[in-house]
Every structure is written in C-alpha cells, then in structure tokens.
Amino acid sequence: MEGKDKKKTDWRPYYPYIIPFTAFMILTEISRLIEGSVYYVYPIKTLVAALLIIYYWKSYKELSMGWTFFALFAGIAVFIIWVGFDDFYPKLDAASYDPGIFESRMFRAWLIFNRMIGSVIVVPVMEELFWRSFVLRFIINVDFLKVKFGTFTWTSFIISSLLFGSEHSQWLVGIIAGAIYNVVLYHRRELSDCIAAHAITNFLLGVFVIASGRYEFW
C-alpha cells in the first residue's frame, strides 16, 4: 500500500526548540488573563523554561561559548532603539509588571531580581534557540536540521523578524530587534553572539527600568 510506504515525520527534533518557548508563552498568556498574576507567574515560567532547556541541553549542538564586539554593539543599538522609539507608535496590550506598587521593599527587590534573572539569562537563550536556530531554518525547510546554521534568505529574514516583533507589546521595535539579531547571526553564524546581544539589550533595559521607574518597558 502506498500509505504504508510513506515515511512518518519524526517530530522529536522539534521538541527542544518548541516546548520551552511554548510553555513560557502559555504561562505568559495566563498572566495576561488573570489580573495581578504576572508577579507570581513570571518566576514560575522562568523556572519552567530554564528546566526544560537544561533537560534538552544535549540537543543544542549549535550552542557554544563566546561573543564578539559586533554582538555587543548590536545589543546596545537595540536597547537605544527600544527606548528611543517608544513615543512614536501604538503598543499592543500586555500585563503590567510594576514592582513599585508593593509596599514591601523585600518583595519589590525579589520581583526585580526575578525579572532580571529571567530577562537576562533565561529568555535570551530560550528565544534565540527558538527564533534564530529553529524558526529561521524551519521557514526555509520544514526539516530544519538539514538547513545549514545561519543560512540567509529574504523570506526567512523578513517573516522571522515580523513574528519576533508580534510577540512583544512593543511590536515595532520588536520587529527591528528581530532583524538586528538575525544580522548578528549571519555575521558569524554563532548563536552565542545572538544570545549575548539579546542579553545585553535586556540587561540595559532592566537597568534603565530600575533607574528611571519606567516599568512599562517590563
């Protein structure tokens, strides 16, 4: 029979990239639906994503140590654009994360600590594995592991940048950030550069938020 001759798709290579990201996004949506839950959901989704990444760690052959000054400058550029363009376009709805509403200094410090750990350490690894390693290649070929890491096509570049922007309430600068992180990948074809650039952006954004009290950026 012809049906029996067809080779079934092995979905297992997708799991290490899709499952951590999906779990994180599902919990993000829950925090949007339940008012005030964002402060308690954020450390949970950070921990869940981190544990899933650790579980699948051996699957990430593209991960390596090291970064370049190009990645550093890219991360700084995205931060400047993210803050500088804020007044010039409408935002999408997002759950507010403002530790300042709580009276307890210790609890505020705990919330800020959680946010910094999540946004600077866990999120860059999780998102870059999903967007730069998986999505960019998946758009080129469903069997994404057959696509050479860092392969450029205009279609994958544009679509992935648009999709990356759509997951952020600051959608316009999100699109620009996605495009810049893509360029970082093409520059040296090292995912560590993308993770470093993303982490630098989020670190600077976190410092800016804490110093200025402009928690709308979180």
Q: Say what the pLDDT of residue 4 is.
A: 52
Average pLDDT of the chain?
Answer: 92
Q: What is the pTM of this model?
A: 0.91
Cβ-contact 152, 186 below 8 angstroms: yes
- Cα–Cα dist 117/32, whole Å: 20
Per-residue pLDDT tens over the stretch 138-193: 999 999 999 999 999 999 999 999 999 999 989 999 999 999 999 999 999 999 99
Cα 205 off chain centre by: 14
CB of 90 closer than 8 Å to CB of 168:
no
